[in-house]
Each structure stands twice: as structure tokens, then as C-alpha cells.
Amino acid sequence: MFLRRHLSPAILILCLLIGLPACNDSDTSAGAPDYAATRAAMIPRIESLMAESEVAGLSLTLVDGQRVVWTQGFGLADREQGTPVVPETLFEIGSVSKTMTTLLVLREVEAGRLDLDQPLASVLTEFAIQPPLGSYSVPDGAITIRTMLTHHSGLPGDLMNASVATRRIPDYDLGVLRYLPAQHAEFPAGFVHSYSNAAVALLAEVLERSSDATFAELTAELFREMGMDHSTFEPEPLDLPGRAHDYILDLPIDFFHHNMPAAGSVISSAADMARYLRTLLAGGRAPGGKRIISPATFEAMLTAQNADNLLDGDKRIGLIWLLNDPGLDYAGRLFWHDGATIAANSHLAVLRDQGLGVFVVTNSPADTVVAAVARETLTHALEEKTGLTPPVPEIEDSPEVDWDPAVLAALSGIYVTETGYDRLEAVDGGLAWTANAGPTADGSEVAEPVLLTPRADGTLAAETLPGAALEPATVYGRQVLFRRDAEGRLPYAERFLPPEERNQAWEGRQGNWTPENLDPDDARFHLPLTVDMDIRLRYEGNLLVVIVSGKKLVLEPVSDTLCHVRGFKRGQGGALRVLTDNAGSELLDYLYVSYEKVAEK
């Protein structure tokens, strides 16, 4: 249905199966590469990666300028029926949807109905939130549309009680707005990059109020203008014809409603996403000629918003788009975004200076697969188009040096990471580093420490981590560890001084807590495998931690009923609170879910 009408049915079927350039909906150019070498290299690579990771189905499209040079499906969209993936197969694209929400916001800005730097509360007048816990050397500015689009708003990220569910909840975002006034922001606006689904989800409500149109109407118009006739933000019915089934561990899962549509609900196909790539490669002009956003707005969207932010390290983000990828930066300017739902993964990347774009999606959990396929496809395509190949990495270890024992002693202590905490202890020759210190989530033994040796470049390195190093730094008055490796220089951990003694009120709350208000239609209740939704509160020495989904979060009691969740990554920085139900029993409140104590067996 998306192919040239003069092709015979037999040729159409052949093209769908092997992804020939002749099947594309734009003309080829004389002398331009046909990307046969890219396909020859990538097809067996894709099949191998899918087999290794047990991926049911995968779909890919590669675009050169306005030429769709390769679109192909691999594996099965429906294992039970034996239905193969074809370019028109519909997949969940997850957070790549956020890039389309961003276009809608920018159209409102161009129309003069929104300003990127206006406070969120000026549009959503009922919006309120408590200030962040802890002390900061930067001012707590207003949460604006811009900070929401750069994940620097400080809004709690994953408020997901029935955000994915068996029923549609049209006013889900309004429920989030009612929840936030009693919550604490995770960080001051602009302080650090911290991914927030909730922030982008609220932009749907912003768009509806600024435009006087429904979010569904706005998105339908956007897709129509780009020729994405089979894409939708809110699929109705859920079992759209041609939609791939999702699988976890080879088990099929139900179709679910995504009740934060602006953050990640788009259903699309490789054929439709090729049109989206063409729009992006044309600087915001759709394949049919319709200008989606102006050239100036397009450039602003892809301009780094956080270049002066010291805590973000090497990460560069425009308006929602990530702007650097160490594996592809040799190709010049680029932008990308990935996506994930319960069982689907996607990755979209564009090499601006080379005119190449790729989109990859699966119907099985495979984030590393889609990223690898996208990057490797672009690498091969770039070589075929220009002869440019990735530079040979130059690994030059900085020489070992001696640091003053006082410096090493000052670096000793507990460092909160994204998944727990590390311990550094001054020893002869450097620092003993215990990653993921303390008992694991299941209470097993801790890992053995390794020696970090000081280097002349100001980093600390270990033989067990070739090509990687930790760099201590003081940023905004905080002791921080950056990690340097092939992905660049990125924040890793923050030093935390545990209290000298335990808080007795919190000590009495140790144990298991189970969700008390989780919506029965939440998708986690309807998966073909058991999902552990309990949280575990415990002291490890004088360090209070809560274990959520296997991740250990460090808590700092602020009072007998309030804890600061330490760290500066996703899900950290905010609060865990004690509430009281109508019967006078205590509940723990964290990220839109309240928990009740489970009696010890």
C-alpha cells in the first residue's frame, strides 16, 4: 500500500521480503550507492543478534536524504500464527514518541501560543510541587517548557501507577497533577539531566490548553502532514490490523493502553518511520512538501541546551534529542533517541552532515540489539556512501603517580550510584573500591574490592576495568565521581556521609512493603510472569536503603516521616514519605504508589 502502484504483485512480495531499494517510495539518484554492501553485512549480523537475544521480530529502515534505500522485516510479528514482519508491520516505538510530541510543542511556539521559557504553572494553573530536598548551590528556578524538553525540570520521572494498563484512562495526566503538590521536586530546575516521563507526559495537557484541540487531533494532523497514514499516538482498537504481538521470554503479552501518550504511546511501522526520517533529513519539511516546523525552529531543536551544565559531563541534549554518540561522532553532527515499552525497543538516529538516518524496532526486549543494529547500519552505510570509516581508538593510559595520602583519605567514603552505593577506602598505592557495596538485594555476600591507582591525568583506574577510569571532582559544592570510558565522561556517583546513628522511627519500619493502591488494571498484574512489586526497607550499618525493582536506593532521613532519596540519576533526588491511612496505619509513598507493611513470616 506504500509502494509504487505499477509494480506487479509478485515483485511487491519479493521486495517486502528482501528489502530491495526498488521497493522504496522515492526515486533513486544516478550514481548514488545502492547500499548492497550494507545489506550484505547487516542481514547476517541482524539475524545473529536476534538469535543470541531471542528476539521475535525486528523491522528496519535506512534513508539517504530523500531516498528510502532499505526497509526490511526480520523474524515474526506473531509467532503463534507464523506471521512474518514486513515493512508495514506496526510496532510500539516507545520514547521515540517524545520526539513527535516535541514537534507539536514547537509548532505551538511558532504560532505564538507557547513560549519555551514560560513557567509550566502559567499554562497548567493547578500545577504545584514542593521544593527539592537537600541544599543546592544553584537557584531553584521555575520549571519551564524548555526544562521539560531537556529532562532538566526536576519533576519526578516515572509516575507509573496504571500508566500502562488494560483500560484507557483519559484523565491520567490530571491525576498526576493532583498528586504532585504534596511531592518534592527531585532537583532544582536546570540542575542535572534526569529523565522524566511524567514531565513529557504533562506536555499533552499543555498542548491541549494552548491549542484548543485535543492531543489526539493534534497528533493525527501531524501524522497526516508527514504521510504517516498508519501511525497513531492512541491506537483504537488496540489490536490494529498488522500490529506485531510483543513477547517476553518467548511468552506473548497482551496489548495495553499507554495512558501517558505524549511520553511514549506511538504505534508505527518502518514504512511510516521512513517518512519521518525523510522529514527530519529535510530539516522539518515532510515528503509531500508540507513544512512541519521552520528551518530556524528545526535548528533550535538540535542546538545543545546543556553545554554549560557541569554535572551532565559529555552528554549533550537539544530539545528532547540526544546530540552525541561516541560511536558515531566521527561522522559529524547527529541526533538520536531510543524507546522502550514493556517488551518493545526502538532506536532512531540521524547523521545530519551525511544525510543518513536509520530506525530499528523490535517486539522483544532488546535495547542493546536495536542500538547495535542502528549504529552498525549507519557505520556501513556511511562507508559505502563516503568511504569514511570509524577511527581506530587510541588508548593511551595515563601514567601512574602517587597522590598525597591526605588526598586519598579525603576521597574515602560512601558514593551513591544509580543502582546502589560504592565504597572507597584509602590504602597503600591508591583506593580500595568496592562497587555495589553492602549486601545485594537478595542478601548475598558483597563483592571483593579492587585497587584504584592514581593517574597523572587526575583519574583513578583499575586493571579490572580496561579503558575506563573514575575522575573525582567537586561540582556545585558536591563531591562527585565521573566515569570515563568509551561512552565519554559521564556522572557516576556522589559522595554521601551516612548519619552517625540510625533513626529509630525508620529502623522500626524495616521489612517488606507491598503496593496498597496499585491499580488492578496496571499492566504488571497482567503479564505471563510474576513481577515483584514489593519494596524492601533495611539498614546496612547506619545506611538506610530501599530496594525497588532490584535497585538499591540510598535514603537520608530528613525527619521521622520523610526521607531524601540520594543520588542524581533517574528516580533519585526526590522523597519517600510516610502517610497514614484511615485506620491509622502507616503507608510509604514513592513515585505515585503507596505501600503497606507486610507482616514478617
Strand partners, 257: 165
Same domain, 472 and 533: no
Q: Is residue 101 part of a domain?
A: yes
Q: CA 324 → CA 64, 313, 329, 334, 488, distances in Å? A: 20, 12, 6, 6, 10
Is the Cα dihedral 64, 66, 72, 73 positive or negative?
A: positive
* Boundary of a domain, candidates 386, 418, 441: 386
**Worst-scoring range by mean pLDDT, 4-13, 174-183, 398-407?**
4-13
Q: Classify residue 355: in a domain, yes or no.
A: yes
**How far is the C-alpha of 210 from the C-alpha of 118, rounded, in Å?**
12
Q: Residue 30: what pLDDT?
A: 55
151 and 242 Cβ atoms separated by less than 8 Å:
no
127-137 tens-digit pLDDT: 999 999 988 87
- Quick: pLDDT tens for 203-212: 999 999 999 8
Q: Do 315 and 421 lie in a common domain?
A: no
304 and 179 assigned to the same domain: yes
357 and 435 belong to one structural domain: no
Measure the CA–CA gap between 196 and 231, rounded to whole angstroms. Answer: 24
Name residue 467's amino acid. Answer: G
What is the per-residue pLDDT for 11?
29
Distance between CA atoms of residues 275 and 288, nearest Å: 10
pLDDT digits (tens, 9 = 90+) for 500-528: 999 999 999 999 999 999 999 999 999 99
Tell me the pLDDT band of 448, cut-offs 50, 70 and 90.
Answer: confident
Q: Which of these three, 463, 496, 529, is where a domain ends?
A: 496
Residues 6+ apart with CB under 8 A from 487: 326
Same domain, yes or no: 466 and 525: no
pLDDT at 27 over 80: no
Domain identity same for 356 and 460? no
How many whole angstroms separate alpha carbon 92 and alpha carbon 2? Answer: 20
Confirm whether 141 is domain-assigned: yes
Residue 86 forms part of a structural domain: no
356 and 465 fall within a common domain: no
Bridge-based pairing of strands 413-416 and 356-362 is unpaired
277 and 187 co-located in one domain: yes
Which CATH number is 295's domain given?
A: 3.40.710.10
The answer to whether 374 and 348 are in contact (CB under 8 A) is yes
Residue 463 scores a pLDDT above 90: no
Q: How far apart are CA 534 and CA 515, in angstroms?
A: 6
Instruction: Check which CATH number belongs to the domain holding 533 and give it.
Output: 2.40.128
Within-domain flag for 253: yes
Total structural domains within the chain: 3
Residue 40 lies in a domain: no
All three cell numbers of 205, joined, read 495537557
Q: Are residues 102 and 210 in the same domain?
A: yes
In a domain, 338, yes or no: yes
Are 251 and 332 members of one domain?
Answer: yes
For the chain, give the percent of residues with pLDDT over 90: 84
* 278 plus 343 within the same structural domain: yes
Write phi, then psi, for 95 (nearest 5 degrees): -75, -5
177, 413, 437, 542 from 425: Cα distances, Å: 44, 7, 12, 17
Q: Tell me: the pLDDT tens digits for 146-172?
A: 999 999 999 998 999 999 999 999 999
- Domain of 542 in residue numbering reads as 504-597
Both 490 and 515 in one domain: the answer is no
Distance, in Å, from the CA atom of 228 to the CA atom of 90, rounded to the nearest integer, reads: 12
Q: Is 114 helix (H, G, I), strand (E, B) or coil?
A: coil
**Assigned domain for 271 exists:** yes
Is residue 416 within 8 Å of residue 424, measured between CB atoms? no
pLDDT in tens, 380-395: 999 999 999 999 877 6
Q: Is residue 424 within 8 Å of 415, Cβ to Cβ?
A: yes
Pick the last residue of a domain from 496, 521, 537.
496
| pLDDT band (50, 70, 90) for residue 6 | very low
Phi, psi of 373 (to 5 degrees): -65, -45
pLDDT band of residue 406 (cuts 50, 70, 90) is very high
User: Is pTM, for the whole model, over 0.75?
Assistant: yes
